[in-house]
């Protein structure tokens, strides 16, 4: 299937259509900024050194029906305006975490490759720019099998980008996509799931000889606790990255925009099981607000680091971390 056909079938054609233009003050500071898809940030959790590297971003325009399907247009526009965002689009970052541990260089997912157009697929060039050669990547933890997480595993010729890497994936996630007829009956997606299934199956078959499957509850690489956070996909995880008493919660695709923190019930068309995704989102947001643990997200605005807070009504909000310089952050 050609790339344009894939994008159209998965509802991503408009997302890959190009850089945003801003014509209104409702976009706030974004009216005078342009995302060039470059950037990295080093930080530590205890003795564990990490880096966030951008793969670019996904422009969701129009925001509906991908985000908040079935929610009234005026209600969504009001919520967007309250966060000083344009009323017809959502820009989702693609934040990729790199972990350095005892001679290993571990990628959490591999970005989108060329699968989503010119706004994304920047991970490889950004890794090289900070001195991380693709051949030095020893391990890739695949959180789930969507294109913006696995599209960057292969180049345009179908060759491995990270030739020396081994791969790790949840058995639940593997078994869902490799089943004869993956069940999308509980999704609100209105487009065919066939291209996504085809990509997932092809990817698993290609990496199978270097693939290890894990069960939820296992600790990976001596520094990553795994917890099932199903709904977005059946084997979608929440990860706790730890070193000594220091922890960082990686919520992966629990949310694609801060709107889903303030309105966890709104969900997305990308959720394989919409209602399970809502329940998981509400459960984990409650945990994070109570624990006050630092959080990293794949798709919240760069660099995707912050905290979940709750008010007296148990309404949740996203509080980004503030930095005097990106090099000085250390997870508490």
Q: For residue 214, what pLDDT is reported?
A: 99
Q: Can you give the C-alpha Rg of the chain in angstroms?
A: 19
Domain layout of the chain by residue ranges: 3-18+37-331
3-state class (DSSP) for residue 134: helix
Residue 314 has pLDDT above 90, yes or no: no
pLDDT interval class at 179 (50, 70, 90): very high
Is domain 3-18+37-331 annotated with CATH 3.40.920.10?
no
pLDDT of residue 87: 83
pLDDT, tens digit, for every residue of 188-222?
A: 999 999 999 999 999 999 999 999 999 999 999 99
Q: Locate the DSSP E strands across the chain.
A: 40-45, 48-60, 90-101, 104-108, 139-142, 166-170, 211-214, 219-220, 224-228, 237-243, 246-250, 295-296, 305-310, 316-320, 330-331
With cut-offs at 50, 70 and 90, classify the pLDDT of residue 37: low
In whole angstroms, what is the distance from residue 42 CA to residue 52 CA?
A: 7
Question: Which is higher by pLDDT, 22 or 163?
Answer: 163
């Amino acid at each position: 299937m050609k790339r344009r056909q894939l994008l159209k079938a998965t509802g991503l054609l408009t997302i890959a259509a190009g850089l945003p233009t801003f014509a209104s003050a409702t976009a706030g500071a974004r009216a005078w900024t342009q995302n060039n898809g470059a950037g990295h940030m080093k930080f530590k959790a205890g003795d564990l050194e990490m880096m966030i590297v951008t793969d670019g971003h996904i422009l969701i325009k129009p925001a509906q029906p991908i985000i908040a399907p079935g929610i009234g247009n005026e209600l969504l526009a009001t919520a967007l305006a309250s966060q000083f965002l344009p009323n017809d689009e959502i820009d989702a970052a693609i934040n990729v975490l790199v972990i350095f541990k005892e001679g290993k260089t571990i990628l959490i997912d591999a970005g989108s490759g060329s699968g989503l157009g010119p706004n994304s697929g920047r991970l490889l060039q950004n890794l090289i720019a900070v001195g991380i050669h693709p051949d030095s990547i020893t391990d890739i933890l695949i959180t789930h099998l969507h294109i913006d997480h696995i599209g960057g595993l292969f180049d345009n010729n179908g060759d491995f980008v990270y030739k020396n890497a081994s791969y790790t994936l949840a058995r639940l996630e593997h078994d869902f996509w490799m089943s004869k007829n993956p069940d999308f009956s509980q999704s609100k997606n209105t487009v065919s799931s066939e291209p996504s299934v085809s990509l997932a199956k092809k990817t698993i078959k290609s990496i199978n000889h270097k693939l290890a499957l894990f069960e939820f509850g296992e600790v990976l690489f001596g520094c990553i606790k795994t917890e099932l956070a199903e709904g977005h996909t059946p084997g979608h995880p929440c990860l706790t990255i730890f070193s000594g008493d220091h922890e960082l919660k990686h919520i992966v695709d629990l949310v694609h925009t801060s709107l889903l923190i303030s309105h966890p019930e709104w969900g997305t068309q990308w959720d394989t099981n919409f209602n399970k995704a809502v329940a998981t989102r509400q459960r984990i947001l409650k945990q994070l607000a109570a624990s006050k643990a630092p959080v990293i997200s794949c798709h919240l605005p760069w660099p995707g680091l912050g905290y979940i807070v709750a008010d007296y009504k148990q309404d949740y909000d996203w509080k980004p971390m503030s930095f005097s310089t990106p090099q000085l952050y250390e997870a508490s």
